[in-house]
Amino acid sequence: MKRSAIVIGLTLVLAALVWQFAQRAEEPFDPAFLRLSPLEIARLPLAVRFDQPMGSEHGALTYNAQPFRLNRHLGDDLNGIGGQNSDLGDSVYAAGVGRVIYAGVPGSGWGRMVILAHRVPEPADPQKIQIIQTVYAHLDQILVKHGQLVSRGEKIGTVGTADGQYLAHLHFEVREGPYVNPSVGYADAPLNRLPPERFLLEHRGAANESLNPPPR
Ligand SMILES: [Zn+2]
């Protein structure tokens, strides 16, 4: 009797520890805004070229099912051309060389989300450097960890349904600035979001000699 009580007690303590560890592994988002520090910004890789995060590097075999600002949308919903759930589990690639500044499940309809941060020369004035974030949401799997450096075109996750909330697609956003927050996918104002299609058009096809140095 006494022994079984000890076993139950130990099991409960162990379960509590495992639970805490699992919570930490998910990295729940701190609701207080996070701002990248000057040191973190300095350590972001310089990204001079961006490609599509799904399909080929120019987006073949995908279409944009809900473009930026349609229905107050803050990103693009990228879908495999097969429609429905045909793209479930397809690769999601880093649009540019960057650092993982968020990888987790922020809640409120997002499912699994990865945010990469990049330092990007402005096309009109390459001396000016913008802080750009690319956001990949509703993922089925996350294949990167917070703090990790990723190359352009590196597989960072797979297309998902946000645990059955939607038909499989990639919600892709481009954001500007140092504040890290999963935030919202729809709003009346564009907030700090940039039109993803235009951003990719402006930043694709950089000359070979100006391509990124290796990130590591
Ligand atoms: Zn969306």
Mind listing the pLDDT tens digit for each residue in 32-50? 568 999 999 999 999 999 9
> How remote is the CA of residue 73 from the centroid of ligand 1, in Å?
6
Same domain, 42 and 13: no
> How remote is the CA of residue 170 from the centroid of ligand 1, in Å?
7
The CA-to-CA distance between both ends of the chain, in Å, stands at 58
Whether 126 maps to a domain, the answer reads yes
Whether 203 maps to a domain, the answer reads yes
Same domain, 44 and 117: yes
> How remote is the CA of residue 27 from the centroid of ligand 1, in Å?
22
Same domain, 22 and 107: no
What pLDDT score was predicted for residue 208?
61
Whether 163 maps to a domain, the answer reads yes
Same domain, 56 and 10: no
- What total of structural domains would you count in the chain? 2
Residue 204 has pLDDT above 90, yes or no: no
Same domain, 123 and 156: yes
Whether 216 maps to a domain, the answer reads no
What pLDDT score was predicted for residue 138?
98
- Span 182-199, mean pLDDT? 95
CATH of residue 44's domain is: 2.70.70.10
Same domain, 61 and 21: no
Please give the mean pLDDT across all residues of the chain: 88
Domain that holds residue 88: 34-210
Same domain, 84 and 140: yes
Per-residue pLDDT tens for 76-114? 999 999 989 999 999 999 999 999 999 999 987 999 999
> How remote is the CA of residue 107 from the centroid of ligand 1, in Å?
14
Same domain, 136 and 98: yes
Same domain, 14 and 39: no
What pLDDT score was predicted for residue 25?
47
What pLDDT score was predicted for residue 194?
97
Whether 215 maps to a domain, the answer reads no
> How remote is the CA of residue 137 from the centroid of ligand 1, in Å?
8
Same domain, 53 and 15: no
Same domain, 21 and 121: no
Instruction: Specify the residue for token string 């979001």.
Output: 193
